[in-house]
Amino acid sequence: MSADTRGGADPGPSPTGADLTKFQTRILLVLHEDPDYGLGIKRALEEYYGKEVNHGRLYPNLDQLVDADLLEKSELDRRTNQYELTTRGYGVIEDELDWMHDQIDGAGGDA
């Protein structure tokens, strides 16, 4: 077991965009440019969805993304955590965006 494995648990195989919920994908997209703290992510998602995103939905999803090694969580202060995409997280987003572009360009459809 390596010293840098979180909690002694191997994150397992890399998830793909298809393995994530749309909500989880939106979280990764919010963090694509810059790290942010929980309430900043919440506000960005609320702007997208046009309604309140409650803590009971947001934080379990953030924890799942951290456990999947798609996000890194660090403490800003005793009450505030910051979230940042990991290399795996960037890879998932880039693959998802490439797939979407292929679909739009018609490369993914049957002719």
- Report the pLDDT averaged over residues 79-83: 95
More confident: 110 or 1: 110
Stated pTM of the model:
0.80
Count of other CB atoms within 10 angstroms of residue 11? 16
**For position 16, what pLDDT does the model report?**
75
| Residues 21, 32: Cα–Cα separation, whole Å | 17
| Percent with pLDDT over 90 in the chain | 69
**For position 10, what pLDDT does the model report?**
53
Query: Which band of pLDDT confidence, cut at 50, 70 and 90, is reported for residue 72?
Result: very high
